[in-house]
Structure 1
């Protein structure tokens, strides 16, 4: 397999650091008290730099680390006091006038020569080299972070922002990071986007939040729902006031709540007399309120401010969940074809203006002006096998996509006992219309190779806001009585694509009844298109134990020659800020020599814990099931782990590799299958841009199978980028695979793991296209999402992270009936197919 594929060149969003600092970089620990946000820390640091370090040009990470190119004139330690009198981030006058105490202490001198040796692979990665990379990272980000709104490693500008309606807008941003590669340091630059509160007069923003054209449309006041929406949106938002002149406008406040009554009705004691807010502003400031019918905002010390004298301050990040329309508009803003994204990255490079960056000059660091070009290969697609009676039983997909024309599934399942539930009235979904769709679905399933002796299942209607559990139990009984057999499937027609109804259907069918369910959207029922029916057929066939397609064994010899289990693992966490819900860990494992059938093991664990707590027992379950299914113990384990950052590599090696080995030893002390442990990363900012037209797909992206293994990969382990899927829209993101532990000799010379990983992206059962990440990891991700629905709680499309359920919430267990399949395959497999 060595050097298989077509050799090409691609451009990537990395800029070479052409000159590194030669002298030692001095590392200081800096403590700013009181403890405040990085945004305010940077403002304090700016004042400190102006007053004490103007000639030294230190750089600061916003929290604890400061680096300089030469020693500070004050020696190894110093203490300062800085007062911010007009700070835009302070929320009270007390904080504005209170001095900040700054303690600086020298920690270390960073030897840059050691970093150079590491990059050339002449020494191992040391703590000194890690600190040197961190220092360079802080250096390239320091100036932009002082000038622009900063979130993590990205900074954002309001230029070219776009309203998302509802009082929020999306800003264009730029991500930058120093990355070690073989022989050199690179600067990774990418475009990003995030959502901010719209700035401006609060009354206008309130009108937008409620979907009104102007504040005049609110003259009737706010109802209870409006009040809740406004208060939830505005809580903790920073404002200034505009009714007391420019000096007073510098005072900043944070909204605590909204008064239940209007400014006319909100009263308080003013110098011994009861007055309302509207009258007070008329008497005190000679300001007649234009919108006295609106409530007031309540800020610190129970101060009431009419909305029309308040302005929302620019640059406040919005972290709540977007609604459907906002999400769609956000995607439109961020979805940029490769050539446009590349141009925006170049614009970002010019905006950063590295050539005239005084901090880089002071440290003696230079960055090249052009995105680098790296060698790549385009791997050939594997041959897919369908049923021998198909006209195209053995074929090679082109550009990662194919269809079911002239093909029958490799193993067709039998569907004899089933029923249909339309969640809506007879008027909304007439029985004749549902029957027509079912007829087309049955015809398509039979043509595709399934066996359906019962072509006319019973049809019922149910209230989508009613007792879903009872409706599904009724459908289950109908299926059994009609076919005189154990029900196999409930087909559910959904009125919308919202989460709550879907979640309840899956909870009930998975954990209460114990039957497979297939949801279809009502908008597809009327047209009953064959392509849609074919996609549904793929899902149903796998749910019932069938096999849609498989890869020729000679193209996955590592798996086919010796008993090998391929595993994919993922951990799904609750939303940011949710401290109540648990995390869900899932491991999926292959159950045959074709790596086409999978089972899953699921665990609930402490929220936001990335390491899989019970991995040993989960692995043990899957190894035993493999033995029961195949009759042999796996002699090799290929383990793909998703969701781990580079900073967690050592932790995952220490805990999870040991857990997999412990699982094997617990089955038999002499049982020691060889293990390869690979981390899979999708959350990165590496992008590839084809240089030749012949190397692009129809969206302008790199072709499926494009693999990059040199030029920008890390110098200290075997890692590569693989773009396995065909682009749909925007710029495709490759998957980064890092081989952390290898007992199967997948060395960079052999280059077999790239081909194997790519081929396994073609066995995803739910679609006729290669997926962007290896199939068992994709399945693990889907099971994580499904398992979340197994807790009986209230689901909302616009669910707020502050409203989590308690970790003691009961998560339902998949019913045993779904775990006893004729092929000994756990029906957890059905979780992969919505």
Structure 2
């Protein structure tokens, strides 16, 4: 409850019963309290203000001088917690001086600080989780990134001068009747601690010998982008100084030609180091780093400070290295999580003991159920037209799509030099597979247009569109694009032009697939093409989604994506909303908006909902009587904001169509960005990868004490440890019980249009995420690159999807 006059979060209506009951383990550890301890909460102000990392050093110095035998817990910013009062009264001020080696950055931080500490409150033990959140169990040799803790004890080299470190993430959670700690392994990239010139060679993919000749300006700009704000130490002074600097930029000139004044005489950096330190530079033709105005350091006298978190987007190779490192079989992950209790210092922890807490022992055993799979239907002429999938997947053999679209006006653009016979053979095979799968294609030999991937893409697509129209004397429906590689720029421009300029569906094909034209690949293309043209591939048996089929119901999914971390904060975020357009919840339409960056609440949700309600009415001829709304990625601390703003926006949209139109709304938050993992205890309850079986649902023990949430594992992982999806019902005017919302959400996961397997989240949310990803390509001024496909540009530069495309699944 959030106070008088506000909406309340839904309470759990009871536990689910449908499905085969099983017992599993979850990466939660129960914390028991032995004493009724009062916790003393203090507010601390450190002046002058410095970064949180320096805050901790300052507080450590305070603790050593003034805390006596009290062990305070400090959150790194404003809060201190102790089990006994600090040895002073209500408030006090302390003078702290740091040793000289504790400074950093481009401008040296002051050595003297004032700590103003004021007692705020005395709180009860049961509130501990809200404040400690695991902060008291860190050892000094562990680095903190958000709520994760890392050490280089387990690490692996990565391309481009990075290392991947394994760490642990922990959070204290309230669960029914107890307090538990959720512990999971995590991985992130750090800059390798090495000589800076070695990192330069790794970033550029060169050997050290090549660098002696210098670098071109393009490489210098690339280096500057990667190295900017990196912390370094110097190695030429011989005094083992711990002082650090931040790189501001690189010089435009090499060390041999970077000039500055010394005692009124102009000299260059290379000569200065030769004369001052009696050692010639080995790399005089490389630029210098600038760490302060008119302070230049040769690359070879700099060393990268250890433990610097890499926050920028990983390139394709680095991402592959990260996946390889972090992908672990369930039993391996479970063992590492248990080992993490030792690494994080839970065992024999004095800090926990002073708060009367007993260290956790083993993973929680959790009751769960395995839900039955729904029945799926294809066209009645299919062999085995209705069936229940086994293990979450099936194939298209001898099956025809439920509703086949007609493709009569289309063309093909070949970007690159490929033999025409090869292209024609591929198109012939693709057409045959589409026909066998139930599509209708009167035009089996579309016009083929040769295109230059470096040329004017818009002009080429327009010509292909005109050729298709002239050939059939009808509006073109599709352009098939054969791409020479997997690069982002060409694909992005094709989608920008086709979605926002011409208004025609496109289907891109990687050229490596055209030489063999495998039936499985062609069948996958058929699934995408059919729904892009308004067809329906399959649908769930109506009895398995009764809430949707019994009365007019619209299922909506919303998602917001943000630009990559470490970039320009002015970059916009993309919000998308997808909604079902039929009683089978198989066809969807989309609405998309560009909004202020890093904003999770959808600014124009009311307008987007209104658009899709109109489309639903135009498609079905009736207004929805029920709205089932799934919202992706809302943090629990923003639930109140969602209740106050987004649910009200839905109601406003309905009222704007008709003042008396008030459909019943159920609003569910869908979250995959969490660290709950489920592990089978019995082999019969695991799949071939060692994960829990598809359909495993948990709604007790590790869930909220009284709110309406559950974990659902609705997919089969191909590798690694599966992540269940966390569903949290915030508003429920449709009065679902636990079984009905759990089974409906699970069954919907079998209706994802572009594959023949159950997916990890409900399709409307999955589709909304795809729409957001596609919208990133709709900028007119974007400078795409393979390394940074989410570069930011002004909101005004984004084109809007043509209205006719918004009514079909162009984004698949």
TM-score interval (norm. to shorter):
over 0.9
2:662 aligned with 1:710: no
Evaluate the alpha carbon distance shift between residue 528 and residue 569 of structure 1 in structure 2; reply closer, same or farther with a 3 A threshold: same
The alpha-carbon deviation at position 87 of structure 1 amounts to 4.0
Corresponding position of 1:790? 778
Corresponding position of 1:552? 541
2:282 aligned with 1:282: no
The alpha-carbon deviation at position 818 of structure 1 amounts to 3.3
The alpha-carbon deviation at position 792 of structure 1 amounts to 0.8
CA distance in 1, matches of 2:71, 2:39: 12
Corresponding position of 1:522? 511
Corresponding position of 1:313? 305
**2:574/2:775 contact within 8 Å kept:** yes
Evaluate the alpha carbon distance shift between residue 86 and residue 155 of structure 1 in structure 2; reply closer, same or farther with a 3 A threshold: farther
Corresponding position of 1:231? 224
Give the secondary structure class of the aligned counterpart of 1:354.
coil
Corresponding position of 2:9? none
The alpha-carbon deviation at position 618 of structure 1 amounts to 1.7
**CA RMSD in angstroms, aligned pairs only:** 1.7
Matched length: 797
Corresponding position of 1:25? 39
Give the secondary structure class of the aligned counterpart of 1:830.
coil
The equivalences for 1:390-539 within 5 A come to 390-425=382-417, 429-539=418-528
Corresponding position of 1:569? 558
**1:92/1:251 contact within 8 Å kept:** no
CA distance in 2, matches of 1:393, 1:817: 31
- 145-154 vs 707-716, which deviates more? 145-154
Corresponding position of 2:752? 764
Give the secondary structure class of the aligned counterpart of 1:571.
strand
The alpha-carbon deviation at position 546 of structure 1 amounts to 0.7
1:684-742 per-position Cα deviation (integer Å, ceiling 9, x unaligned):
00001111111122221111111011110011311000000111111111100001111
2:177 aligned with 1:183: yes
Corresponding position of 1:812? 799
The equivalences for 1:146-185 within 5 A come to 146-185=140-179
1:210-266 per-position Cα deviation (integer Å, ceiling 9, x unaligned):
1123x222121111111112222211111111121234x222111112222222222
TM-score, length-scaled by structure 1: 0.93
1:6-57 per-position Cα deviation (integer Å, ceiling 9, x unaligned):
1111111111112266221111111112222221111111111111114110
1:455-479 per-position Cα deviation (integer Å, ceiling 9, x unaligned):
1111121111110000001111111
2:104 aligned with 1:90: yes
Corresponding position of 1:647? 637
**1:514/1:817 contact within 8 Å kept:** yes
2:641 aligned with 1:665: no
**2:90/2:119 contact within 8 Å kept:** yes
CA distance in 1, matches of 2:505, 2:554: 26
Give the secondary structure class of the aligned counterpart of 1:230.
helix
**1:410/1:549 contact within 8 Å kept:** yes
- Decide which of 610, 616, 624 is 2:614's aligned counterpart: 624
- 298-307 vs 176-185, which deviates more? 298-307
- Decide which of 144, 149, 158 is 2:138's aligned counterpart: 144
Give the secondary structure class of the aligned counterpart of 1:246.
coil
CA distance in 2, matches of 1:143, 1:89: 26
CA distance in 1, matches of 2:549, 2:331: 41
Give the secondary structure class of the aligned counterpart of 1:304.
strand
* Structure 2: gaps of 5 or more residues: 1-14
CA distance in 1, matches of 2:96, 2:104: 14
Give the secondary structure class of the aligned counterpart of 2:662.
coil
Give the secondary structure class of the aligned counterpart of 2:340.
helix
Evaluate the alpha carbon distance shift between residue 20 and residue 651 of structure 1 in structure 2; reply closer, same or farther with a 3 A threshold: farther
CA distance in 1, matches of 2:16, 2:145: 42
Evaluate the alpha carbon distance shift between residue 526 and residue 661 of structure 1 in structure 2; reply closer, same or farther with a 3 A threshold: same
Evaluate the alpha carbon distance shift between residue 45 and residue 257 of structure 1 in structure 2; reply closer, same or farther with a 3 A threshold: same
Task: Return the structure number with greater relative CO, CA threshold 8 A, min gap 6.
Answer: 2
Evaluate the alpha carbon distance shift between residue 397 and residue 691 of structure 1 in structure 2; reply closer, same or farther with a 3 A threshold: same
The equivalences for 1:11-22 within 5 A come to 11-19=25-33, 22=36
**2:488/2:789 contact within 8 Å kept:** no
**1:697/1:727 contact within 8 Å kept:** no
Give the secondary structure class of the aligned counterpart of 1:387.
coil
The alpha-carbon deviation at position 408 of structure 1 amounts to 0.6
TM-score, length-scaled by structure 2: 0.96
Corresponding position of 1:134? 130
**1:323/1:797 contact within 8 Å kept:** no
- Decide which of 580, 586, 593 is 2:570's aligned counterpart: 580
Evaluate the alpha carbon distance shift between residue 251 and residue 136 of structure 1 in structure 2; reply closer, same or farther with a 3 A threshold: closer
Evaluate the alpha carbon distance shift between residue 68 and residue 236 of structure 1 in structure 2; reply closer, same or farther with a 3 A threshold: same
1:530-580 per-position Cα deviation (integer Å, ceiling 9, x unaligned):
100000000000111111000111111111111111111111222334322
